[in-house]
Amino acid sequence: MEATVKDQVVSAEKPQLEAPPGWQPVIMGILCNWCSYAGSDLTGTSRTQYPPNIRIIRVPCSSRVDPWFIIKSLQTTADGVLVSGCHPGDCHYITGNYYARRRFLVTKKLLNFVGLHEDRVQFSWVSAAEGAKFAQVVAKVTGAIRKLGPLHLYKKENRSQ
Amino acid sequence: MDYTNQIREIAARLLSENRIDVFIGYRKTGFDENHLPAFITHPNATGDLVFTEKSGFNLTNYLKFEHTRNKRVGLVVKGCDSRALNLMLTENQVKRDHVYIVGIACEGVVNEQGEKAQNCLECVMPDPVVHDEILGALSGKRDYQANSDVKELWQKDLAERSRFFEEVFESCIRCNACRHSCPLCYCAKCCIDQETSTLYHGANTTSSAFHALMTWSLHLAGRCVDCRNCEKACPSHLPLHLLHKQNEQVIHEHFQGHLAGMVAQDRGAFYKYNLNDPDDFIL
Amino acid sequence: MILSSNTNSNEMNLTTYITDPAGLEQFYSAVIGAYETYGPVETFGKFEFRKITSLAGCNPDPPILSSMSVKALFFPRSAKVLRYRTTSSGTELSDTAEDPLAGKRVILGVRHCDARALEVLDRVYKWDYIDTDYLNRRANTVLISTRCDQAAAHCFCTSLDYDVEHLDALDVAIVRGTDGKIYLQARTEKGEQFLKQHPPGPADAAGTSAEQLRKQYVTFENSFRLKMNYKEINGQMQNKFESPAFEEASSTCISCNTCAFVCPTCHCFKISDERIRDEGVRYKSYDSCNNIYFTLMAGGHNPRPVKYRRWRQRAMHKFVYYKERFDLNLCVGCGKCTVSCPVNISIFEVANRVAASMQ
């Protein structure tokens, strides 16, 4: 039986130099159904390329996003998280994204406070018509995470080494 | 600050007039330590009650349903305690006519070493914001002060902060005393205690502590009143106030100076919005 | 059947060595240099047992009331039991890596109540299931500690069912004499062999140490504020299952897990699986009988949803049931539960109130 008693602290965020060869960032994408998800759909139908590192989960509204989802993603397999919703004023549920952006700000700052680089968690407003923008956003976020390297800090330990 | 006699008199009166079923206040320990919560059900037993600067515990924690199911409660609250009570009333956890609130205009409580507690030095509202009667003279709202420990941590770079918090999360023993002593954590079953293997984090690892403490502080953001019940309860002495004060500062700075529970019927910061909330960080 | 856990060290012909403060320092350095050593290290204003490479930052004497008992080095807060992976052809199980706690090691600064607690726990780990991991760790560990000079506010070890002066379960006990000398007494066979290999000074051939050790113990015994008549309490509690004192005494309990986690003799655990997609780890980690979900079963039935009943079970287990089964009191009177409890509920107080209640 292996006890998880640690007497040495694992070092902080490691730079890209230590990424294993062939490593690809895993980005968790949480998109609101009515704007961002539709927008990403448009990107696809327009045949615009964007990095395939993003794994998309559809929620009814950006306001559905509990900070818990972001924390869980970072703790398990994600190297970064992108949450995207409708532009303020255009929310399908009228006010959802107004509440959401409050949560986003506090979450982002707190994660940075405990030692995660601020580029690990990003947010965007992408409307259903902004297929091109979605591709740009994903490329930007993927590039930033690629530079930061794989996330080791606070990761769950249950992967076999 | 000593309201021992007044508290005893009020409790005896309320119990003998059958206006409450239980009076929740403070009692001395056998040693010269800070006071402990006490449940008094008989008017003759009120001699055990005390109230001084050693009466730090936030008693509104006992208004959570499992402690005072369907009982009429008499309660002692200080400034921060009463703000928590405001939120519990707004969030329908407590019926207003089931509680008789004895508010203390607080002059600050002391920590285990006998020094004035840090949250009292930075106190924003020493007066009870909801009450049925008040003891002491009101002193009014004070200016908000940023927490000095949070400021100090922000001076450090990312690597140092992550090492510091890694140490914090490693020392957590997942006892959940913080959750159980927080008045605003009243969920019958905590979201992170679900038993499916992808969600459950019963194992005590640095990662599970990160997950638990971060989720907890973000669910509390905009609702935390800085009573420090959590920090006092923690057997590992973790500096939990760092997480809550960090959130409180962001909320106070960016969301119209919002502070939890200051006004009756007020909701937490995440239940409101303003059209001018910042979103320049959003792509 | 009375099972004696340890004979009186006087009868076992064990050696006491004499040295001075400088000699003790050297002894510690030699031990740290030769073995994997653990000691109480300060973290966030309280003490936890961690691996040490020198005495810097570690304070082994006099033994400090560490928040976490030394039990975490024998029964870890979290241990991996196995790894699994599901594939198209089935589930593969694999053992986890080498146990990092299994090597030969020395622990300094262990309060004797904690050491005694390990001895009490040994009984249950050799009972219906022989827990080889725990027993290996016990066999490979030498406990060296200064004996307490003074009781802390919530200590009551001298009131219970063991001879604190002689049966503390330390392998090597260190006593600071009033004569300025330092006495290191082997209290077990393991301690005797250890000191033979690493003599800290000359052996006490003349027998002068006995008087110093007795003096130290008497001073220590007189420093206690909490005392109880154990036989009386244990006897009374056996008949007071329905006592209303349980409910009164536990009314302020908030059902967190703190008391059981810091208690040096609590040994309940839970098994949980943590999975990412198709691979995962099974963990064994601490559990507490005060937790609302402790008795929750698959299907949803929970036999102990009521708080005072959980508290009653805990108090009875500590003072009655374990004694009935193993002839050892489970509570060792260290007071850690009271100190760490968010509302300072004192098990000493609860036991007294129940024993004194009318029914």
CB contact under 8 A, B210 and A114: yes
Digitized pLDDT (tens) for each residue of chain C, 359 residues in all: 233 344 444 456 788 999 998 999 999 999 999 999 999 888 888 888 989 998 887 878 777 777 788 999 999 998 888 889 999 999 999 887 777 788 899 999 998 899 999 999 999 999 999 999 899 999 999 999 988 888 988 999 999 988 888 877 899 999 988 888 999 999 999 999 999 999 998 988 878 888 888 999 999 999 999 999 999 999 999 999 999 999 999 999 999 999 999 999 999 999 888 888 888 888 899 999 999 889 988 888 999 999 999 999 999 999 999 999 999 999 999 999 999 999 999 999 999 999 998 76
**Per-domain boundaries in chain B:** 4-135, 148-271
Nearest Cα residue to A42 out of A111, A127, A120, A123: A127
CB contact under 8 A, B166 and A116: no
Q: Which residues of A touch C94 (CB under 8 A)?
A: 160
Rounded-to-10 torsion of CA B127, B128, B132, B135: -40
Report yes or no on C9 lying in a domain: no
CB contact under 8 A, A117 and B247: no
Cis status of the peptide bond prior to C76, with omega within 30 of 0 = no
DSSP tag of C218: H
Residue C126's CB is within 10 A of a number of other CB atoms, namely 13
Q: How far is CA B236 from CA B231, B232, C46, in A?
A: 9, 10, 7
Best of B214, B275, B276 to mutate (most A CBs within 10 Å, chain A): B214
If one counts the domains in chain C, the total is 1
| CA dihedral over A3, A4, A7, A10, signed as positive or negative | positive
Report yes or no on C220 lying in a domain: yes
Does residue A6 surpass a pLDDT of 50? Answer: no
**Per-domain boundaries in chain A:** 24-148
- Any chains having at least 3 CB pairs less than 8 A from chain B are A, C
Nearest C-alpha in A relative to C99: A2
Phi, psi of B26 (to 5 degrees): -120, 150
Q: How far apart are the first and last CA of chain C?
A: 29
Report yes or no on C3 lying in a domain: no
Report yes or no on C11 lying in a domain: no
What's the confidence (pLDDT) of residue B192?
85
Average pLDDT of chain A, as a whole number: 87
What's the confidence (pLDDT) of residue A66?
96
CA distance C104 to C140: 5
Interface of B with C (CB under 8 A): 29-31, 33, 36-39, 57, 61-62, 66-67, 167-168, 171, 173-177, 179-181, 193, 197-198, 200-205, 229, 232-233, 235-239
Q: Which residues of A touch B150 (CB under 8 A)?
A: 113
* Length reported for chain B: 283
The per-residue pLDDT for range A80-108, each reduced to its tens digit, is: 999 999 999 999 999 999 999 999 999 99
Q: What value, to the nearest 5°, has the Cα angle with vertex B239 and ends B237 and B241?
A: 130
Instruction: Return the structure tokens found at C200.
Output: 């800290």
Digitized pLDDT (tens) for each residue of chain B, 283 residues in all: 899 999 999 999 999 999 999 999 999 987 778 899 999 999 999 999 999 999 999 999 999 988 888 899 999 999 999 999 999 999 999 999 999 999 999 999 999 888 999 999 999 999 999 999 999 999 999 999 999 999 999 999 999 999 999 999 999 999 999 999 999 999 988 888 877 766 766 788 889 899 999 999 999 999 999 999 999 999 999 999 999 999 999 999 999 999 999 988 888 899 999 999 998 999 9
Which one of B36, B179, B203 has the shortest CB-CB distance to C78?
B203
The per-residue pLDDT for range A106-122, each reduced to its tens digit, is: 999 999 999 999 999 99
CA distance C260 to C337: 7
- What number is the ipTM of this complex? 0.93
Residue C257 DSSP SS3: coil
Domain A24-148, CATH: 3.40.50.960
DSSP tag of C73: G
What angle separates helix A131-148 from helix A38-45, to the nearest 10 degrees?
A: 100
Domain hosting C259: range is 16-356
